[in-house]
Amino acid sequence: MPVKLIAVDMDGTFLRSGMTYDRARFAAQYAQLQQAGVKFVVASGNQYAQLQSFFPDIARQIAFVAENGAYVVEAGQPLFVGAFVPEAVARILAVLDDLPVRYTVCGKHSAYMHTRFADDYFASMQRYYHRLQRVADYRDIDDTVFKFALDLSGDPATDFNDDQLQHFMATLEQTLNASVKPVSSGHGSVDLIIPGVHKASGLRRLQQRWGIADSEVLAFGDGGNDLEMLAQAGFGYAMANGSARVKQVARYQAGSNNDDAVLDVIDLLLARQAPFA
């Protein structure tokens, strides 16, 4: 089989809009993938604790590239944990405090949200962060910090189109002297990640461990935080609902996440149909 590793983004890719997928159909596919020796990796910007919940029966068998590559786990064992140095955390917090955005600080043990943000927002973010704590001051966090998740959708002043969003991210990166890499993660969200630490770097760590070449990787994504992964994979698929930039980078295009397009492509792989013949 030309593919030895399948990597899937979750929101807008593997999951339907209601955060569901066809579990019975995927379970049947996963059994065939196991027989063929194909690794399955969840590659998402979301928290590891949340991602595990979608795969309760196999979470200890598969690998996760969580938090946009900052937390890599294989069979329940952490392989890599990224970290901002304390000086960078302090500098980032100082800049974010002057911006009209809501944001969550993401760490190894939990994610953290300031008490100044409304309870309904806190509740909505618990869908993505199953470990989420309130803090009165972000500077009191005692954890390994590896991501800042910005929500630009809650303020008309930050309701950007794609070009404006790219400008916002470029300006923020310049302001922080390239100590962070801003990436879009969909729905008006921007993640500030460690430069050089992304989904592709997380996959590369697993590939080196397993002896898998880029040409043997099948990857799916829809957002700006998938760009490196899709460019690196031999079979990079952009979702039909993905951004224009993603479609420019990916070599192939799948259907919509709401039509279970990832599972359709996996069927093509298992049947050894084009482009996997």
State the Cα–Cα distance between residues 127 and 36, nearest whole angstrom.
34
> From the CB of residue 250, how many other CB atoms can be counted at a distance below 10 Å?
25
* CA 141 – CA 253 distance, rounded (Å): 41
Please provide the size of the chain in residues. Answer: 277
| End-to-end Cα, the chain, rounded Å | 9
d(CA 44, CA 10): 6
What domains can you pick out in the chain, each with its CATH number? 5-81+197-270 (3.40.50.1000), 86-193 (3.30.1240.10)
CA distance 111 to 49: 10
Distances (CA, A) of 262 to 13, 52, 59, 184: 7, 19, 19, 21
Q: Torsions phi, psi of 172, nearest 5?
A: -65, -40
pLDDT at 157: 44
Whether 262 contacts 245, CB under 8 Å: no
Phi-psi domain of 9 (left: phi exceeds 0; alpha: psi -120 through 50; beta: other): beta
pLDDT for 184: 82
Place of tokens 């996440």: 257
Per-residue pLDDT of the chain in tens (277 residues, 90 and over written 9): 799 999 999 999 999 999 999 999 999 999 999 999 999 999 999 999 999 999 999 999 999 999 999 999 999 999 999 999 999 999 999 999 988 889 999 999 999 999 999 999 999 999 999 999 999 999 999 999 999 999 887 554 445 566 777 788 888 888 888 788 898 876 668 999 999 999 999 999 999 999 999 999 999 999 999 999 999 999 999 999 999 999 999 999 999 999 999 999 999 999 999 999 9
Residues taking part in catalysis: 9
Which H or E run contains 20?
A: none
Full-model pTM: 0.92
